[in-house]
Amino acid sequence: MPKPLAGPKSRRLFAAAAKCIPGGVNSPVRAWKRLGGQPLIITSGKGARITDADGRTYIDYVLSWGPLLHGHAHPQVVKAVQQAAKLGMGFGAPTPSEAELAGLLVKAVPSFDRVRLVSSGTEACMSALRLARAATKREIVIKCDGCYHGHADHLLVAAGSGCATFNQPDSAGVPAAFASLTVSVPYNDLAAMEAAFAKHRGNVAAVIVEPVAGNMGFVPAAEGYLKGLRALCTREGSLLVLDEVMTGFRTAWGGEQARTKVTPDLACFGKVIGGGLPVAAYGGRRDLMEHLAPLGGCYQAGTLSGNPVAVAAGLTTLRLAGGKPFYVAQEKKLRVLVEGLKSLATKHGVPFQAGCIGTMWGFFFNDRPVTNFAIAAQSDDQAWTTWVSAMVRQGINLAPSPYEAAFFSSAHGKAEIVATFAAADAAFAEVARGR
Ligand code: KE4
């Protein structure tokens, strides 16, 4: 059995945590089950790097699962949070900053006439679908196998991310009646979507989809797929909901809907718009959003929605990016990393797929392009485990599941890319030896 990836202090701290927290983690995918089940305990981060309890540093491509567009503890983000906190941690009342963030989102996101701030992607997706059902007076929601839209009961159907990691795409505790109104079809398959509409004609409230799937690994929408979904929903009188919790201001300024010019009826954002603190949002056309209380009969609420300290982190993060040029520049750097990894895999004869959009990327140990969850699940698990373990051992932090995406930040530069190549070269060699 290879040496555990976590050092002695991490192991001690994890054992203590497991005495109070189920599985020692506050979110299952952090449990590192596929990497030996003993996660690193992280004590700090700065720029592109994190440090664990044993003082080891790692170039980080998890970036808190996507929020950290500018790396860890960016000085201007930290300063904004400190200044906001000094004015009070929150008031349960409207504040100037939440309206500023809402204004920035409405200006940047093509589908947003109105936006409601919440505290997590789960809340954003759950609320957007409640609104879709209220506005259309229909019940069925169609999602895609391997896409993950948070852990609301009715969305834990054929779900990705941690659900797929633990082979639990449907969760215990969700009554069949709750799940029965959710239909899941393969991603990138318009014929399957058409068939689902035919089966539930007149009762489909919404289709919810990740415009770039990041919870079955990194799987971009196929050419024409999003446009096809848009046309189908328009024809059927259903709402297209883009779950941009991961892609929002990660792949492009304004999200994938800005980059692809496919405008949904509603969209969900999170992660980057909170800059690492709990901010998420859902929004869309004014006529839809005005179904929400206090204007309409669709209820959604939240104690910490629009919290000024969290909003300060999100606003500063978005202002630091500022617009499209930031993503063009970052993608240019990230493409060097991705193409270099592909070249190293080829050098060692290891079947490897990799891609990137904006500052989001991912890879599969597969000999063919991955376009949906079923193909993702056929990837070489042993190769993934060997390679990722070897990368972590050499100081490169990657998601502990093959059903996740990877991320890049403006703090990642040439030094990080060169160090990643050196680690990857040795890791691919280890995979090749084991084949
Ligand atoms: P949260 O409730 O975790 O903030 O967001 C749920 C969510 C919704 N939609 C998409 C596309 C998402 O990726 C997520 C959450 N992403 C996972 C990682 N794939 C969060 C990490 C975790 O669950 O610990």
Confidence of residue 179 (pLDDT cuts 50, 70, 90): confident
The alpha carbon of 422 and the centre of ligand 1 are apart by a number of angstroms equal to 31
> Is 27 near ligand 1, meaning CB less than 6 Å away?
yes
Give φ, ψ of 205 to 5 degrees. -75, -45
**Mean pLDDT on 141-150:** 97
Nearest CA to ligand 1 atom 15: 150
Q: Which of 278, 306, 321 is the last residue of a domain?
A: 321
* Structure confidence at residue 178 (pLDDT): 85
**Residue among 145, 243, 265, 380 flagged as catalytic:** 243
Is residue 1 a part of any domain in this protein?
no
Question: What's the mean per-residue pLDDT of the chain?
Answer: 96
Contact status, residue 14 vs residue 385, Cβ threshold 8 Å = no
Question: What's the confidence (pLDDT) of residue 246?
Answer: 98
* Residues 230/236, Cβ–Cβ less than 8 Å: no
Q: Which of 271, 327, 380, 403 is catalytic?
A: 271
**Domain's final residue, options 270, 286, 321:** 321
Q: What percent of the chain has pLDDT over 90?
A: 91
Q: Would residue 148 show up in a list of annotated catalytic residues for this protein?
A: yes
Residues 233 and 311 in one domain: yes
- The rounded Å distance from CA 55 to ligand 1 centre is 28
Last residue of a domain, one of 287, 321, 355: 321
The reported pLDDT for the residue numbered 3 is: 73
How much distance in Å is there from the Cα of 270 to the middle of ligand 1?
9
Atom of ligand 1 lying closest to residue 122 CA: 2
Is the minimum distance from the CB of 214 to ligand 1 under 6 angstroms?
yes
Domain that holds residue 303: 75-321
Same domain (yes/no): 413, 298: no
Return the residue whose CA atom lies nearest to atom 8 of ligand 1: 149
369 and 310 both lie in a single domain: no
pLDDT bin (cut points 50, 70, 90) of residue 164 is confident
Give 55-78 pLDDT, tens digit per residue: 999 999 999 999 999 999 999 999
Protein residue with its CA nearest to atom 20 in ligand 1: 65
Give yes or no: residues 317 and 237 share one domain: yes
Ligand 1 centroid to residue 161 C-alpha, Å: 8
Residue 398 above 60 pLDDT? Answer: yes
Assign 3-class secondary structure to 73-118.
Answer: CCHHHHHHHHHHHHCCCCCCCCCHHHHHHHHHHHHHCCCCCEEEEE
Distance 152 CA to ligand 1 centre (A): 11
Give the chain's domain count: 2
* Spatial distance between the Cα atoms of 180 and 154, rounded to a whole number of angstroms: 8
pLDDT at 427: 98
Residue 194 has pLDDT above 80, yes or no: yes
Give residue-wise pLDDT tens across range 234-263.
999 999 999 999 999 999 999 999 999 999
> Is 157 contained in some domain?
yes
Rounded distance between C-alpha atoms, residue 356 and residue 362, angstroms: 7
Strand partners, 364: 353
Same domain? For 272 and 125 the reply is yes
Cα distance between residue 293 and residue 403, in whole Å: 36
Spell out a b/e string for 257-286, using b for 16 or more CB atoms within 10 Å of the CB, else e.
bbbbebbbbbbbbbbbbbbbbbbbbbbbbe
pLDDT at 288: 98
Mutation test residue for ligand 1: of 148, 242, 305, the one with most atoms within 8 Å of CB: 148
Residue minimizing CA distance to atom 21 of ligand 1: 65
Most ligand 1 atoms within 8 A of CB, residue of 63, 215, 373 to mutate? 215
159 plus 288 within the same structural domain: yes
The confidence score (pLDDT) of residue 158 equals: 81
In a shared domain, residues 176 and 278: yes
For residue 2, being part of any structural domain is answered with: no
Residue 225, pLDDT above cutoff 70: yes
**pLDDT at 330 > cutoff 90:** yes
pTM for the structure as a whole: 0.97
Do 399 and 296 share a structural domain? no
| 45 plus 105 within the same structural domain | no
Whether residue 209 lies inside any domain: the answer is: yes
Whole-angstrom distance, CA of residue 102 vs CA of residue 246: 18
Do 41 and 69 fall within a single domain? yes
Q: What integer is the mean pLDDT of 206-223?
A: 98
- Residue whose CA lies nearest to ligand 1 atom number 24: 27
Answer whether 210 contacts ligand 1 (Cβ < 6 A). yes
Are β-strands 204-209 and 140-144 bridged in parallel, bridged antiparallel, or unpaired? parallel
Report the CATH number that the domain containing residue 280 is assigned in CATH.
Answer: 3.40.640.10
- When pLDDT is averaged across residues 318-330 and rounded to a whole number, the result is 98
Identify whether residues 89 and 101 lie together within a single domain.
Answer: yes
Q: Over the stretch 93-120, which tens digit does the pLDDT of each residue have?
A: 999 999 999 999 999 999 999 999 999 9
**134 CA from centroid of ligand 1 (Å):** 24
Pick the closest to residue 120 from 15, 269, 262 (CA basis).
269
| pLDDT of 328 strictly over 80 | yes
> How do strand 114-118 and strand 280-284 relate by DSSP bridges?
antiparallel
Say what angle helices 75-86 and 308-321 make with each other, to 10 degrees.
150
Closest residue to atom 1 of ligand 1, CA basis = 121
For 7-11, 176-180, 326-330, which range has the lowest pLDDT when averaged over its residues?
176-180
Q: Looking at the CA of residue 147, tell me the nearest atom of ligand 1.
A: 11
What's the 201 CA to ligand 1 centre distance in angstroms?
30
Question: Average pLDDT, stretch 276-304?
Answer: 98
Q: Quick check: CB of 66 below 6 Å from ligand 1?
A: no
104 burial (CB, 10 Å; 0-12 / 13-18 / 19+) is: middle
Confidence of residue 1 (pLDDT cuts 50, 70, 90): low
Any ligand 1 atom below 6 A from CB of 98: no
Residue pair 315/79 in contact (Cβ under 8 Å)? The answer is no
Domain at 350, CATH number: 3.90.1150.10
Q: How far is the CA of 245 from the centre of ligand 1 (A)?
A: 7
In a domain, 268, yes or no: yes
H-helix or E-strand containing 125? Answer: helix 121-136
CA-nearest of 245, 327, 282, 12 to 127 is 282
Q: Name the band, by pLDDT with cuts 50, 70 and 90, for residue 416.
A: very high
Local structure of 207: helix, strand or coil: strand
- Answer yes or no: is the C-beta of 273 below 6 A from any ligand 1 atom: no
Ligand 1 close to Cβ of residue 39 (< 6 A)? no
